[in-house]
């Protein structure tokens, strides 16, 4: 990958106070937990089986484990749970400043979810995905405002890891990039901005080629001998 800059430094005021995360897996829950502990409101929009009460129970258990380990006080646990909600309705993203698609579904399904999120927010929110950088342009093709789209790649576990990649395309607005960086800083993490350059796409495609995920890449992004991911 090709870092453009290291966006480390003291945290600045973050314009994002309300986050919606599409997905219900452990990775999604980790991002939500990081948001809640930073004092941000967070909504889980479930794409996995289970009820909202089950999602809250999973979150409560994760927070309670940290309290017992002496890493959180009871007030922090109570505050985090108060800022959390879970639903299966993507319309709940309407008030979000940032909507993060964080599923392991096919790229076409993820593309559809992002388009639905854009409609739910009337295009005012930053849209983000945890999908590989190689998929950013393909995922953006159904968006009306591609300039508001970025990738956010949290190291696992998201609530503990100190770094997060902010992936951008040639269409991403600089102000959107800066806001995404501020969001990462607000979570107490270092942000590294990464372009979706051909070299970066080749590295990601080579990694995916070793697994089933390669089959999910749109054909123009699959690596061919002697090419940069077909670009």
Q: How many helices (H) and strands (E) does the chain have?
A: 7, 9
Give me the CATH topology for the region 3-196.
Rossmann fold (3.40.50)
Across residues 46-57, what is the average pLDDT? 87
Burial (CB count within 10 angstroms: exposed 0-12, middle 13-18, buried 19+), residue 132: buried
State how far the Cα of 88 lies from the Cα of 46, in Å rounded to an integer.
5
What pLDDT sits at residue 231?
25
**E strands present in the chain:** 3-6, 18-22, 41-45, 84-87, 98-101, 126-129, 149-154, 163-168, 190-195
Across residues 33-62, what is the average pLDDT? 93
What pLDDT sits at residue 197?
63
More confident residue, 130 or 210: 130
Given a cut of 60, is residue 212 above it in pLDDT? no
The whole model's pTM is what? Answer: 0.81
Q: Where do the domains of the chain lie?
A: 3-196
Q: Which two tokens stand for residue 62?
A: 């994760």
Contact 123, 115 (CB under 8 A): no
Given a cut of 80, is residue 141 above it in pLDDT? yes
What pLDDT sits at residue 13?
56
Across residues 151-170, what is the average pLDDT? 93
What pLDDT sits at residue 51?
84
What is the chain's Cα-based Rg? Answer: 17
Say if strands 149-154 and 3-6 run parallel, antiparallel, or are unpaired: unpaired
Contact 181, 166 (CB under 8 A): yes
Spatial neighbors of 31 by CB under 8 A, at least 6 apart, are 21, 100, 102, 154, 158, 159
Q: Which two tokens stand for residue 200?
A: 């970066």
């Amino acid at each position: 990958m090709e870092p453009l800059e290291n966006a480390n430094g003291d945290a600045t005021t973050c314009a994002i106070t309300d986050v919606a995360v599409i997905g219900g897996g452990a990775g999604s829950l980790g991002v939500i937990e990081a948001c809640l502990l930073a004092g941000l409101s967070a909504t889980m929009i479930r794409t996995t089986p289970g009820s909202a009460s089950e999602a809250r129970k999973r979150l409560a258990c994760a927070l309670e484990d940290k309290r017992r380990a002496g890493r959180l006080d009871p007030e922090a646990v109570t505050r985090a749970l108060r800022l959390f909600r879970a639903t299966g309705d993507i319309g709940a993203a309407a008030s979000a400043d940032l909507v993060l698609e964080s599923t392991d579904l096919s790229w076409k399904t993820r593309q559809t979810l992002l388009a639905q999120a854009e409609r739910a927010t009337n295009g005012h929110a930053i849209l983000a995905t945890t999908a590989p950088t190689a998929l950013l342009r393909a995922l953006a093709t159904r968006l009306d405002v591609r300039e508001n789209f970025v990738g956010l790649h949290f190291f696992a576990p998201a609530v503990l890891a100190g770094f997060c990649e902010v992936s951008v395309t040639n269409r991403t607005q600089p102000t959107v990039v800066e806001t995404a960086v501020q969001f990462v800083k607000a979570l107490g993490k270092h942000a590294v901005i990464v372009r979706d350059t051909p070299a970066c796409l080749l590295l990601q495609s080579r990694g995916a080629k070793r697994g089933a995920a390669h089959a999910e890449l749109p054909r123009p992004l699959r690596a061919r001998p002697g090419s940069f991911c077909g670009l």
